[in-house]
Amino acid sequence: MKLLVDLGNSRVKWACMEGGRFTASGAFEHLGLGPQALASEVGRIPGCPHEVRLSSVADSGLSAALRKALAGRFGCPLRVAATARSAGRLLNGYHDHRQLGVDRWLALRAAQAEWPERPCIVIDAGTAVTLDALAASGQHLGGLILPGLRLVNTLLAERAAALSGLATAGLPEVAGTWWARDTASACASGPLLALVALIERCVAELAHGERRDQVQLVLTGGDAGQLAQLLPPATALRPQLVLSGLALDMPGLPDA
C-alpha cells in the first residue's frame, strides 16, 4: 500500500492506494497547528504503507514537521515529489520548470494521463485558484494564478466597512439568476462569475477557433464543487487530482 500526502496552503489531503485504486482518504486543516497537533492528526491516518509519497507547497518549516510526523508514524521510505522539465509526453511550459508549483505539475500529470489526446484546462480552486493550459500534444502552455473565492470574499469583508460581518456564502440565493438581490449574494456571486468568465476565455484561447467542446475542463480544489455548477456538464470533477498525479510512476523521485 502507498500513502499519498498533499500538503497545500491550508489543508493536508491524504489517500491510501492499493491495487491501483484509492482505498481510504481524508483531509485536515493545518493552519495554526504546532508539531504535536500535526503529529496527532497524522496519527489518525490508517494503514501500514510500504511507501509514503509527499507533495508540498507549504514553507520549509511546516514541510519538515510533516515529514517528521509521517516518519514517526509509519517508519517506511518517504519520498518527496518535485516538479520536472518533462514526464513522458508531458512537457513543462515554464521557462524555469522549478517555478511551477509541484501541486500544479502533479495535477497536469494526472490530467494528461486520463485524457492523453485532448487539450485540457486544469483548474485548482482552493486558497488560490490556478489555471493551467495543456495542449493535446502534452505541451503545458503555461497558466494563471488568482486569489481563491473565499480569500476574495474575506478581503472584501475586511476592507469594506459596509461589508464587514457578511457570511461568505456560496451561490446566490436564486440559482440561475445572474443578478444578485442582496449584498451577501452579490459578494459571493461576483468573484464566482468572474472566474467562470475567465475559464470560458481560457477555453477559447486554447481552442484557437476550433470546437470548444474538444477542450476538457478538469476541476479540483476545495471550491470545485461550487464552481462546477456553473460550468458545462462535461466538466470533470476530480477531488483527488493532485494525489492521482502523485501516485504515477516517477523515476528518480528523491527520498526526503
* Residues marked as catalytic: 103
> 90-91 and 216-220: which strand pairing?
unpaired
Q: Grid coordinates standing for 140?
A: 503545458
Cα atoms in the 13 Å half-sphere on the side-chain side of 71:
12
Cα atoms in the 13 Å half-sphere on the side-chain side of 113:
16
**Which stretch of DSSP H or E encloses residue 224?**
helix 224-228
| Dihedral, 221, 119, 132, 140 alpha carbons, nearest 10 | 130
C-alpha to C-alpha distances, 39 to 12, 34, 50, 65, 68, nearest whole angstrom:
12, 9, 19, 8, 8
SS3 at position 87: strand
Q: Grid coordinates standing for 36?
A: 504535536
Q: Grid coordinates standing for 109?
A: 500529470
Q: Grid coordinates standing for 43?
A: 496519527
Q: How far apart are CA 222 and CA 127, in angstroms?
A: 8
Hey, CA dihedral for 87, 88, 94, 96, is it positive or negative?
positive
Q: Grid coordinates standing for 76?
A: 517506511
Q: How far apart are CA 131 and CA 71, in angstroms?
A: 33
Residues paired with residue 29 on neighbouring β-strands, in sequence order:
11
